[in-house]
Amino acid sequence: MEETLLRLEELLVPSIADVAVLSVDVNDETISIGSRSTAAGAACPDCGSRSSRIHSSYLRFPADVPSAGRRVVLCLRVRRFFCPDDSCGRRTFAEQMSGLTRRHSRWTERLRSTLAAVGLALAGRAGARMARVFGVSVSRSAVLRLLDALPDPETPAPRVVGVDEYAMRKGHVYETVLVDVETRRPIDLLPNREASTLVKWLAKCPGIEVVCRDRAPFFAEGATAWGTSGGPGC
């Protein structure tokens, strides 16, 4: 029996440390996985102090990624620990299982990332509808909140930058728009067309090799000269 449960851990919670599968119950609609943490203690989310002094425990039922046409729900025994640091404002805290749970979430981390991927592809309403197809009931706004919580995609630092001026009002206030020439994305907007403003901006972006002004390139190190002399006139 113990060996079977060990194999179930590899199957059900692979690459998640310190989790024991205690039971698996299957009915027509749902697979329920009873589990608990095997870690000796946990770290306080506020002060980071580790504690193994248990205050109490309770059950949590985060939904997991469906399997074989059935909903999957974890039945997690979660321990609440005393924070050992007297100066910490938190007296007790509940443990989280890294890679599996997070505070206040009704989903496992892998269901959360599945729903976020669906939301990225389909956005709110269609994303919620798609989730229902694979048996997860989620609202349109919950899908959108998941997208909000995603980190910004890493954009590579620009190498070739285009500098263009444009007038806010016809013939009056000029601003400068900076564009990544290789990705064609606007990068920043400078409040004027002063060379010194551009030079300051360039100094903060050491990765820039080429600056194009009026579509003619010159090398970034030349931008300093441009700043002091009023421009190389390229």
Query: Nearest 10 degrees: CA dihedral of 63, 133, 152, 105?
Result: -20
Alpha helical stretches, state H, the chain: 2-12, 109-133, 140-149, 195-203, 222-229
If one asks whether residue 94 binds Zn ion (CB under 5 A), the answer comes out as: no
Residues 109, 134: Cα–Cα separation, whole Å: 17
- Quick check: 90 binds Zn ion (CB under 5 A)? yes
83 forms part of the interface with Zn ion (CB under 5 A): yes
Residue of the chain from 88, 122, 130, 199 that contacts Zn ion (CB under 5 A): 88
C-alpha distances in angstroms, 33 versus 13, 24, 154? 10, 5, 36
Contact segment (CB under 5 A) with Zn ion among 27-35, 54-62, 83-91, 124-132 equals 83-91
Minimal distance, residue 145 CB to Zn ion, in Å: 28
- Please list every residue from 199 through 218 that binds Zn ion, using CB under 5 A: none
Q: How far is the CB of 43 from Zn ion (least distance, A)?
A: 9
> Which sign, positive or negative, has the C-alpha torsion 177, 181, 183, 184?
positive
Among 12, 31, 42, 44, contact with Zn ion (rule: CB under 5 A): 44
Which residues of the chain form contacts with Zn ion (CB under 5 A)? 44, 46-47, 83, 85, 88, 90
